[in-house]
Structures are given as C-alpha cells and as structure tokens.
Structure 1
Amino acid sequence: MDRWAHAMKDGRTVVVRRAIERDAEQLLRNINEVGAEEDWILTEQVPWDPRQEREWIRGFDDSDSVLYVAEVDGRIVGQVDAHISMYPKAHHVASLGIAIVKAYREKGIGRALMERVLAWMKARGVEKANLEVFSTNSRAIALYKTLGFEIEGSRKRQFKIRGQYVDDVYMAKWL
C-alpha cells in the first residue's frame, strides 16, 4: 500500500494513504462528527452503517476515483475523495471533497491531503480540479488559494445554516 508521510505543524507525522475497507467505521464516525458541526460540509449525518460504508470505499477504483485518508498515531483524522467526470466532454475535470476532524485542523493535514489528491489527478491527465466550499469557511478558502485555486463563482444563499444564508463558492485550479 502506498503511504506518504508529512510533517505536521506540531512536529508529529501524518500519513496519507488510500482508504481500505477496514477504515469504514472510523470514516463513518469522522464524517458524522464533522457533519454534526453543521459549518463545514453539506452532510450532517450519513444514513448508513459500516457495511454500506465498506461498499462505498470499494467503489473507489483508482482509475476514475480515489479516497485518501490521513492518519495520525494510528487514528484516521481526515479524508479527501476525488472523481473524474464520467462525461466525455468533461473528462478533463475532477471534483474533490475534503473533511478534517476538528481537533486536527490547522495542523497541515488539509494541505497534505490536497497535495496528494492533486498529484493523483495530474497522474491521470486531469487538467482542472473543482471543489465547492461554504462561503463561511474562510480557513478552507485560504488554504485552497495557497494551493492555486481560484474562485470561479458562487450560488448565492444556497444553504441555510442555523437560520443564516450561506453561499456555495465554486473554486477551481488548472493543473
């Protein structure tokens, strides 16, 4: 299994690797934890069990899709997935999504995951990486900009979080 080690801002090491089926329970717990915060991702609660999560993980075939996890001290603390468009007219484009557990944010894990998934895209001939982010997620937007992403547009007042409207910001990077 391919593994990539990165130094975190606090001196510890984060290992980025492809997800495997036995990661299902940790991934499910993590995404539900991040979703419960309501501020960072659209999903609040994934409505399936570990068996279904394992099936989801198996769906990442590495040719047109990939799921990477970030591990610190044996615990999965973040993930990023990417999908190359299945449509011939957009096969040069891939979309990605990322989530980091709260206690591990701002430590360099997001950057490590993003660098790995962008390298995966380049190796497959992807020319453009797309993502969506809540307009209120200024830390993520700042990270994406340092990686070369630019804002391409937004859908105004697309979401309502705790009674407040939030824009859906489209960002992209030409690889």
Structure 2
Amino acid sequence: MSASAIPVPPVVRRAVAGDGPALGELDRATWSTLHAVQPRPQPPYAPFFDEHHPPREILVAEMPGAAGEREPAGYIRFVPPTPLPCNTHVRQIQGLAVAHWARGRGVGRALIRAACVAARGEGANRMTLRVLGHNAPARALYESEGFTVEGVLPGEFFLNGRYVDDVMMGRPLAP
C-alpha cells in the first residue's frame, strides 16, 4: 500500500469563532429531513455561532480536503440539556454533521468519542441525544458507540408527508 493510500484519521479540536462561516456552510450542505426537523435554511443565513450557540459547545473534525489542506469535515455540538443544577452530570448531543466528501472515513465516530471524553472532562457521567427514527445510519453509529434506546415519542414529527418517531438514546460515560 502506498503512503497516499493510508487513511488519515480526523483531527478533532474545539471550535473557534473563525470556524463559523465554514461550519455554517457545512450545516447547510448536509441539511436533510433524515435528521432535521427545521425547514431548509434560506438566505440571508443566520450566523452559525450566536449567544445561544457559542464555539465552546462545538468540536470540529478536520481532514485533508481536495486540495490537501486541512478543512472542516464535520462537527458535533454537545451541551448541558437543561440549566438545572440537578442535571449538570449530563451532556446532550444536539447536532452532528459530516461533510459528504468525508463520510465513511470515521469522522462521526471520532466526533462522538471526542465529545464523550470532553464531557467526562467537564464532570459529566452521562451522554444523551435525540435522533429521528428513520435515520438508520445515525442510529447504527450511536448504537455501535454504546448508546441504547431509552424512549420513543411515536409520530412526533411530520416530515415529507409521513410521521416520524423521535428516539431518545443515552449512555454512561465511564472513565
């Protein structure tokens, strides 16, 4: 195998304010009713980061792109699910996107693992998420990373002319 055929793993880091435009573009490029319940974003686009979605909540995965330069291949947003003091031990994934060109290269898995490590570093001992019932690829990835179904809201969303379940998943964050 030649050196150029060796897969390059993603580098995961905390987002910075300057990542906003690239992450906004990535978010729009990956929008789909497979995972989104909000309508497709339309111009003028809102900034990716704002006072409710700061860079500190986001991890970015970078990989060499078409020109060989490192570029954002994906991101994950994980936050405390509520502001309640009794809930500070939990973090919730509230966004995961992988660029089309980077799919199948371990980006989503690397982001989930890095988010779990970072959440443990913040004192969390549990990670949760919500995923649409028809999003089989995402559900399979989460299950392979130790998440289990903890609840289902049947027919919670009406997307593309059909009712879609909202699936709650979670896992412990053991050291």
TM-score (norm 2): 0.82
Structure 1 residues not aligned, in runs of 5+ = 1-8
Matching residue of 1:38: 33
Matching residue of 1:115: 113
Q: Which amino acid aligns with 1:154?
A: V
Q: Which amino acid aligns with 2:63?
A: V
Change over 3 Å in CA distance of 1:103–1:41 after alignment to 2:
farther
Whole-Å separation in 2 of the counterparts to 1:54 and 1:81 = 11
**For 2:171, which of 157, 170, 173 is the aligned residue?**
173
Q: SS of 1:106's equivalent?
A: coil
Q: SS of 1:86's equivalent?
A: coil
Q: How does 1:39-78 map to 2 (within 5 A)?
A: 39-43=34-38, 44-45=40-41, 49=45, 52-55=47-50, 59-61=54-56, 66-73=57-64, 74-78=70-74
Q: SS of 2:7's equivalent?
A: coil
Change over 3 Å in CA distance of 1:54–1:134 after alignment to 2:
closer
Structure 2 residues not aligned, in runs of 5+ = 65-69
Q: Percent identity?
A: 27
* Number of residue equivalences: 161
Matching residue of 1:153: 151
Q: Which has the larger radius of gyration?
A: 2
Measure how far apart 1:71 and its partner are: 1.1
Q: SS of 1:30's equivalent?
A: helix
Matching residue of 2:131: 133
Matching residue of 1:95: 92
Per-residue CA shift, 1:16-72, capped at 9, x if unaligned?
A: 11111111111111111122x32123343277647x3344597244xxxx2111111
Q: Which amino acid aligns with 1:38?
A: T
TM-score (norm 1): 0.82
**Is the contact made by 2:91 and 2:127 (CA closer than 8 Å) also made in structure 1?**
yes
Aligned Cα RMSD in Å? 2.3
Matching residue of 1:18: 14
